């Protein structure tokens, strides 16, 4: 189940602290109380995952001083101030200083709870965006999102690290739903351009008359810049590049081929292109409608993403991860796979790749919450989808591969449930320590990843 929003309550009056904490706890929050601003500042840090409520008048570090200190620490932290009669002008001043809101005594506790809910949503969005920016600048973290230990995924990670050090433009191809956008992020984050601008444009999302402006301008709105300009010095990722109109392709070729000796106004940009396509299947010839000069420029380096059906046991690892995530979101237990279910998951064609697997996992969790245990119906639908999609066919695998994949899944699940406790896993699976250690080594399962 998703964790409750944390609310820090600072008030020197014990009765007031207690009543606010009690009401917010009943309203679904997790409350922590402090009797002074000094004590609160010892505990609250940047990236505090919640909301701060403080009385404005307290001895020592009062609400205004606390606000100032918290703003210096994290300017986006929501701080709600409680004011007494006659302190409204002081509260208005605090709002100008960055306070989220204020409430005057005596106040309706339901109104305070609603205020905290709004502030919590704002805080959650801020932290999510902050985490996303960190992930996009952390190549190691992005590579860890390429979950799996199959030979093809290990080779993919190595290829990303190798290509990230090259300066040539990159073409990423592969079926829909194979994680091409994530790989583009990882290429940028692992490259020397890490920390420089990363600009993403889905070329198919714009009408022909709009995409030219998106890339080259003019762009309306204060502070907005065309993608080519915004990505200068960094990386420009163009998804569905084959959708670009011919005239836009011509402008892009001109942009990429400016001579080094050009005058200042026409000097070449320091621009790295990552092109993404689900339609291009070969780097030998450009697809219909794409200029050869543009195609061969962006295809200087080529990376092909593996289809899910080629990844063997990774399918079970991914399915279990998705189920665990959705089970937490929906507040229920994840479904348990039988050996038959596991075998069918591995053999299914998965024409929609990871996106389809994620959809099946979410529906499996919802079925579990309704008391429906079987996955057969969902897997039947997946196999029917594959049968009408063309080249995707069921591939029979040796029994040994099924057994090993299922065994690895059981150990992985047990380690996850028991937070890496080897003793607990030994008891749950009735395995002696030596056998468990050997199997963990065989399947590349590391205890530290589960703690």
Q: Are 286 and 200 in contact (CB under 8 A)?
A: no
Instruction: Give 150's DSSP letter.
Output: S
Q: Could you list the pLDDT tens digit for every one of the 451 residues in the chain?
A: 456 889 999 999 999 999 999 999 999 999 999 999 999 999 998 889 999 999 998 999 999 999 999 999 998 999 999 988 777 788 888 888 889 999 988 888 899 999 999 999 999 888 887 776 666 556 677 777 888 888 899 899 999 999 998 989 999 999 999 999 999 999 998 898 988 999 999 999 999 889 999 999 888 777 789 999 999 999 999 999 999 999 999 999 998 887 544 444 555 578 899 999 998 877 788 888 899 999 999 999 999 999 999 998 889 889 988 998 899 888 888 888 888 888 888 888 898 999 999 999 999 999 888 887 667 677 766 555 544 344 444 445 566 666 777 788 788 888 888 888 888 888 888 888 888 888 888 888 888 878 7
Would you state the CATH architecture of domain 139-306?
A: 3-Layer(aba) Sandwich (3.40)
Task: Give the tokens for residue 155.
Answer: 């080779």
Please state, in angstroms and rounded to a whole number, the distance separating the CA atoms of residues 201 and 236.
8
Looking from the CA of 148 toward its CB, the CA atoms found within 13 Å total 25
Q: How many other β-carbons are positioned within 10 Å of the β-carbon of residue 400?
A: 8
**pLDDT of amino acid 41:** 92
Please state, in angstroms and rounded to a whole number, the distance separating the CA atoms of residues 94 and 88.
10
pTM over 0.75: no
Q: Please, which residues have CB within 8 angstroms of residue 94's CB and are 6 or more apart in sequence?
A: 56, 63, 64, 67, 81, 102
Angular region, 226: left φ>0, alpha ψ -120 to 50, beta rest:
beta
Per-residue burial over 322-341, b if 16 or more Cβ lie within 10 Å, else e, is bbbebbeebeeebbebeeeb
Q: Judge whether 6-135 and 139-306 match in fold.
A: yes
Nearest to 254 by CA among 270, 242, 268: 268
Task: Give the tokens for residue 229.
Answer: 């300009």
**pLDDT of amino acid 385:** 53
Q: Are 77 and 123 in contact (CB under 8 A)?
A: yes
The CATH class that applies to domain 6-135 reads alpha beta
Where along the chain do its domains lie? 6-135, 139-306, 309-450
Task: Give the tokens for residue 119.
Answer: 């502030």
Q: Are 53 and 27 in contact (CB under 8 A)?
A: no
Please state, in angstroms and rounded to a whole number, the distance separating the CA atoms of residues 81 and 56.
6
**pLDDT of amino acid 296:** 92
**pLDDT of amino acid 397:** 57
CA–centroid distance for 77 within its chain: 22
**pLDDT of amino acid 265:** 53
**pLDDT of amino acid 391:** 43
Q: Please, which residues have CB within 8 angstroms of residue 427's CB and are 6 or more apart in sequence?
A: none
């Amino acid at each position: 189940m998703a964790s409750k929003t944390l609310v820090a309550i600072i008030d020197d009056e014990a009765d007031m602290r207690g009543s606010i904490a009690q009401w917010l706890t009943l309203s679904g929050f997790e409350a922590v109380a402090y009797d002074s601003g000094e004590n609160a500042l010892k505990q609250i840090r940047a990236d505090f995952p919640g909301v701060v409520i403080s009385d404005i008048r307290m001895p020592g570090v009062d609400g205004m001083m606390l606000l100032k200190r918290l703003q210096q620490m994290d300017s986006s932290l929501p701080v709600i101030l409680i004011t007494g009669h006659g302190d409204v002008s002081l509260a208005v001043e605090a709002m100008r200083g960055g306070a989220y809101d204020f409430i005057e005594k005596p106040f309706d506790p339901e109104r305070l709870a609603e205020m905290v809910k709004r502030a919590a949503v704002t805080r959650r969005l801020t932290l999510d965006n902050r985490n996303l920016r960190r992930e996009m600048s952390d190549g190691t973290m992005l590579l860890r999102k390429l979950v799996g230990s199959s030979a093809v995924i290990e080779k993919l990670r190595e290829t990303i690290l190798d290509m990230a050090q090259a300066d040539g433009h990159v073409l990423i191809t592969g079926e829909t739903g194979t994680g091409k956008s994530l790989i583009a992020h990882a290429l940028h984050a692992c490259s020397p351009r890490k920390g420089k601008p990363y600009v993403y444009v889905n070329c198919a999302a714009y009408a022909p008359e709009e995409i030219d402006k998106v890339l080259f301008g003019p762009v309306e709105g204060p502070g907005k810049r065309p993608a080519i300009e915004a990505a200068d010095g960094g990386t420009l990722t163009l998804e569905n590049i084959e959708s670009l109109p011919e005239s836009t392709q011509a402008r892009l070729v001109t942009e990429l081929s400016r001579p080094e000796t050009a005058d200042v106004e026409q000097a070449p940009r320091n621009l790295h292109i990552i092109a993404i396509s689900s339609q291009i299947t070969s780097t030998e010839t450009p697809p219909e409608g794409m200029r050869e000069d543009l195609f061969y420029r962006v295809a200087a380096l080529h990376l092909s993403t593996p289809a899910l059906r080629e990844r063997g046991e990774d399918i079970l690892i991914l399915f279990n991860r998705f189920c665990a995530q959705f089970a937490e979101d929906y507040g229920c237990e994840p479904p348990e796979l039988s050996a038959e279910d596991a075998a069918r998951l591995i053999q299914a064609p998965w024409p929609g790749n990871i996106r389809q697997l994620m959809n099946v996992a979410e529906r499996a969790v919802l079925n579990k919450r309704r008391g429906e245990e079987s996955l057969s119906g969902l897997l039947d639908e997946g196999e029917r989808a594959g049968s009408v999609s063309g080249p995707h066919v069921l591939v029979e695998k040796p029994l040994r591969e099924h057994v090993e994949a299922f065994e690895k899944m059981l150990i992985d699940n047990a380690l996850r449930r028991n937070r890496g406790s080897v003793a607990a896993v030994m008891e749950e699976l009735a395995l002696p320590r030596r056998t468990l250690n050997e199997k963990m080594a065989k399947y590349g399962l590391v205890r530290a990843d589960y703690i």
